């Protein structure tokens, strides 16, 4: 990285962050602190309004913005595809913003870069199932949840669980404090929230939420809660073992089941182990493989599968 590139990189970092020390900039750019001091002097002499606060760091004068920067083809494709992903998977407000930002990005690209970006983008497709009712409901709920988070208001909803409770019910009404949203490729959007019923942080699949409403009650997110660093408690204590037909081992691996812990090919088949809270969480998935899989333990789950197969036989 030459000096010109480094000065631009410093300005971009300062525009992204309100305050950075010389040590932090040196680490990001891979240069010495002395070099950062010289670069700051050069920026000041060039008329860039850099503010140095003793003992705190550097910042750009409020209201100062960089002129549009140029993008490489790879950078432009990354931004356009990222905007397309947001357009397909977020709620209407973000979808509209993603669409307009994508147009702005394309507008500032040079002719050759725009053509190459369009060519590469044409060879990449993000598949979606926009017409599914569950997807449409999920996107609508995202907007409501985001609004509640911004206003620090609790939400109430009916949650449809995969596994039935002890009394046989599969739905519960929850009032929660929404702390954040996370996206998982397998489970879709997850709501992380403090649940009043469980008196602890829980995560809920947004696609299983219905009758969602924002309440008048407010909440305050704990100072020590960090969504980026949060790791949910692992309450999966039941171990399930199964043997799949070796011929479908690649398909089982591609399925990438969330509960799978280990998998190994042996002479008698593809051995896999799972850890779940309730075996019922695996029932539909296991039955979906038909005669290509045999559950070996626990015996209680084997009996549950037998019961379900008996019900199926009665229907055929």
CA dihedral 253, 255, 258, 260 (to 10 degrees): -30
Q: What's the confidence (pLDDT) of residue 304?
A: 94
| Two tokens, residue 220 | 């305050």
Q: Are 239 and 273 in contact (CB under 8 A)?
A: yes
Q: What's the confidence (pLDDT) of residue 251?
A: 94
- Per-residue burial over 40-62, b = 16 or more CB atoms within 10 Å of its CB, e = otherwise: bebbeeeebebeeeeeebbbbee
How does residue 133 score in pLDDT terms, banded at 50, 70 and 90?
low
Q: Is the pLDDT of residue 235 over 90?
A: no
How does residue 127 score in pLDDT terms, banded at 50, 70 and 90?
low
Higher pLDDT, 136 or 75: 75
Helix (H, G, I), strand (E, B) or coil at 162: coil
Q: Is the pLDDT of residue 130 over 90?
A: no
The percent of residues in the chain predicted with pLDDT above 90, rounded, is 43
Alpha-carbon distances, residue 87 vs 98, 138, 150 (angstroms): 6, 14, 21
Q: 83: buried, middle or exposed (CB in 10 Å: 19+, 13-18, 0-12)?
A: buried
Alpha-carbon distances, residue 199 vs 202, 216, 309 (angstroms): 9, 20, 38
Query: Taking all residues of the chain, what is their mean pLDDT, rounded to a whole number?
Result: 86
Higher pLDDT, 228 or 110: 228
pLDDT tens profile 11-60:
888 877 778 999 999 998 999 999 999 999 998 888 888 888 888 899 88
How does residue 128 score in pLDDT terms, banded at 50, 70 and 90?
low
pLDDT tens profile 83-92:
888 877 777 7
How many Å separate Cα 16 from the centre of its chain?
Answer: 22
Flag the least confident range among 47-56, 159-168, 275-284: 159-168
**pTM for the full model?**
0.59
Helix (H, G, I), strand (E, B) or coil at 196: coil
pLDDT tens profile 165-185:
556 678 899 999 999 998 876
């Amino acid at each position: 990285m030459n000096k010109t590139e480094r000065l631009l990189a410093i300005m971009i970092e300062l525009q992204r962050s309100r305050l950075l020390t010389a040590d932090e900039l040196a680490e990001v750019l891979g240069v010495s602190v002395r070099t950062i001091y010289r670069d700051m002097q050069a920026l000041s002499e060039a008329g860039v309004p850099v503010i140095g606060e003793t003992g705190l760091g550097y910042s750009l004068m409020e209201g100062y913005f960089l002129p549009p920067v140029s993008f490489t083809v790879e950078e432009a494709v990354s931004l356009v595809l990222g905007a397309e992903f947001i357009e397909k998977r977020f709620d209407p407000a973000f979808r509209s913003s993603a669409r307009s930002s994508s147009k702005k990005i394309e507008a500032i690209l040079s002719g050759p870069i725009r053509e190459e970006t369009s060519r590469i983008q044409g060879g990449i497709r993000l598949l979606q199932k926009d017409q599914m009712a569950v997807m449409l409901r999920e996107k609508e709920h995202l907007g409501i949840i985001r609004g509640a988070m911004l206003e620090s208001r609790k939400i109430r909803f009916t949650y449809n669980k995969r596994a039935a409770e002890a009394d046989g019910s599969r739905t519960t009404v929850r009032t929660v404090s929404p702390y954040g949203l996370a996206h998982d490729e397998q489970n879709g959007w997850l709501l992380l929230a403090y649940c009043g019923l469980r008196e602890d942080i829980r995560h809920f699949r947004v696609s299983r939420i219905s009758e969602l409403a924002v309440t008048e009650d407010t909440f305050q997110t704990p100072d020590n809660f960090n969504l980026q660093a949060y790791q949910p408690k692992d309450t999966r204590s039941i171990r399930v073992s199964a043997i799949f037909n070796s011929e479908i081992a690649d398909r089982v691996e591609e399925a990438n089941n969330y509960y799978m812990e280990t998998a190994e090919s042996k002479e008698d088949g593809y051995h896999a182990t799972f850890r779940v809270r309730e075996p019922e969480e695996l029932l539909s998935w296991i039955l979906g493989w038909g005669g290509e899989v045999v559950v070996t333990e626990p015996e209680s789950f084997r009996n549950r599968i037998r019961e379900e197969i008996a019900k199926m036989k009665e229907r055929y």
